[in-house]
Structure 1
């Protein structure tokens, strides 16, 4: 028995796959689902499930990864108290993060465009995310994003939105 435990442990360690040294360089595309919490003027607050698609490119510099991404999400949120509706949100994001091997922690910053019943408005987006490479072609990730829009359409209405997204991406 004294020899059996070290022998089994040695075999298990020798037979275990090595940690994947992920390369984040390359294009990717995917889809996501999330939840948005929008704060508008007065009592015009709302919460809704979102879904959409994204396409981007990352470049791995060893320990650090930079990239860019275009993301479009369907929101379909009717805000109470005459706050209008938010139909879609598009984000053009710059991404920078640290390569932990199969995991990537990153921050995003960029421009955002809200398509609403009150008119369209350009604002900005920023947030944090983490991605994990399941294999060379498939990545799962999560992001928390903050959107800021001022003077939506021809109104003086400001909208702030916090969204949490779960995403799946296919790397090419």
Structure 2
């Protein structure tokens, strides 16, 4: 009887020791999957307005008859130097612009109006071979204004918008004291970058063509390169 009692007591003691003295096996932590990287997206829909500043180059070509038309005198140009003139000028161009565009996802379509003052002029002797002595005191030739109404179509690359433009252009010039103006077309390309949700910086290169400027027989080609900053509403 004593043997049975001692055996039972020993078994009970061993069970109690086992239950309290052995720690449970540690549980391995479950690795967490990394959070997916979400690329920031931008919506280019909305109105905007800003300012631009840059450089412009202009090419004029015509003949003596064109200069006679500008000077309004059939005998003003030097008859000893009949021929074709082809001259280049350049200068500063800058102004303000405003527009509206709609973002269809990856395709952006919009319209923009910009108004620019310019100082695209020529060297004093560019036309000297085609003028007689009485015209040497006349003022030279310069393009003073360039305005544009453009359609814009571009690719939405997130913070960057790459676009092309096409539309109508208007230019006003001062030629030998006469004010001339004409309309033509403009094509080009540009890029905008969103610094913040509302502030946009960019650049634009545009080519303008004016045939028979103000019915003078002079053809004008103008290329402008302008930096831009805008606020999108």
Instruction: Provide the TM-score with structure 2 as the length reference.
Output: 0.64
Q: Distance in 1 between matches of 2:166 and 2:215?
A: 26
Give the 3 Å change call, closer, same or farther, for CA 140–18 of structure 1 in structure 2. farther
Return 5+ residue gaps in structure 1 as ranges. 1-12
Mapping of 1:17-36 within 5 angstroms?
A: 19-36=39-56
1:100-146 Cα shifts (integer Å, max 9, x gaps): 01100000000000011241100000001111011111000111110
- CA-based RMSD: 1.7
For structure 1, which segment, 79-88 or 29-38, has the greater mean C-alpha deviation from structure 2 after superposition?
Answer: 79-88
Which of 197, 202, 210 lines up with 1:149 in the alignment? 210
User: Is residue 86 of structure 1 aligned with residue 147 of structure 2?
Assistant: no
Instruction: Provide the TM-score with structure 1 as the length reference.
Output: 0.86
1:18 Cα deviation from its structure 2 partner: 5.2
Higher helix share: 2
Q: Distance in 2 between matches of 1:36 and 1:136?
A: 31
Q: Distance in 2 between matches of 1:139 and 1:57?
A: 14
User: Is residue 130 of structure 1 aligned with residue 187 of structure 2?
Assistant: no
Mapping of 1:12-161 within 5 angstroms?
A: 19-41=39-61, 42-80=85-123, 81-82=126-127, 84-118=141-175, 119-161=180-222
Runs of 4+ in structure 1 off by over 4 angstroms are none
Higher strand share: 1
Q: Distance in 2 between matches of 1:35 and 1:19?
A: 36
Q: Distance in 2 between matches of 1:138 and 1:18?
A: 22
Q: Distance in 2 between matches of 1:30 and 1:146?
A: 21
